[in-house]
Amino acid sequence: MAVHQLPPPFDPDSTELGCWLKLPSTLSAEAASLLGFDYVCIDMQHGLVSRSDLTGTLQAVHPHSPRVLVRVPANDPSAIGWCLDAGATGVIVPLINSAEEAEAAVRSCMYPPLGNRSSGPARAAVIYGAGYVDDANAATQCIPMIETRGALKGIDDIVSIPGVNAIYVGPSDLSMSLGLGHGNHDGEAAFDDALSTIVEACGRHGVVPGIHANPTLAARRLEQGFRIVTITEDLGGMQTSMSAALSDLRGT
């Protein structure tokens, strides 16, 4: 008997609000997953979660948040397959620059004949049941990150790849790739136009646009047409809350 059910792919007509986990803490992961986010993403690229941390983090999240993504360190078949075998419902793949790279990521997520993922689902078969391999291709999310000039130039080709039904914008890397520097660049034409280009391409191909944000920017991102929006993270949220408490008390 399966303990969990694989969630369906993101729906273009729904809004999904998520939380980002950078810390290798099962306690903070469990606490975040109990808050009711539509998805939780564990960050293995810029977060501090290692392979040895991932299984425990997934175990802490899964009972409370059925959609658990992992941002893998790179577009690497071994890393992608390992995260999915550990029980992630999908992966966010950084620095996708072309349709060819997006297609390679999809193939790493899919079992033959759609891809080249090796069959050995380990924990995934334990929590999703004996039919996991048969069901995985229809449910697994392969989400390329759009964060470079190359990806922006080839956005229509990337979002037309079979198996790509959602993308995720990394606004900081995209800003730097556009020559705008680090930080937020809302209101600057190059950045605003880039986001519009991405959302419009997703609309043409029935792909769900996602983006990294924060509580201040989330409403604007939704107005811009993004449907998957990460609104907070464990490390930043903790720092913000602690800083506000300290500032308020010292001010008093």
Q: In whole angstroms, give the CA distance from residue 171 to residue 152.
A: 12
Q: In whole angstroms, give the CA distance from residue 246 to residue 250.
A: 6
Residue 4 bears catalytic tag: no
150: phi then psi, degrees, rounded to nearest 5: -60, -45
Grouping H, G, I as helix, E, B as strand and the rest as coil, residue 39 is strand
Q: In whole angstroms, give the CA distance from residue 32 to residue 40.
A: 8
Q: In whole angstroms, give the CA distance from residue 4 to residue 118.
A: 22
Catalytic residue among 46, 62, 64, 182: 46
Q: In whole angstroms, give the CA distance from residue 127 to residue 171.
A: 34
Q: Which residues are catalytic?
A: 46
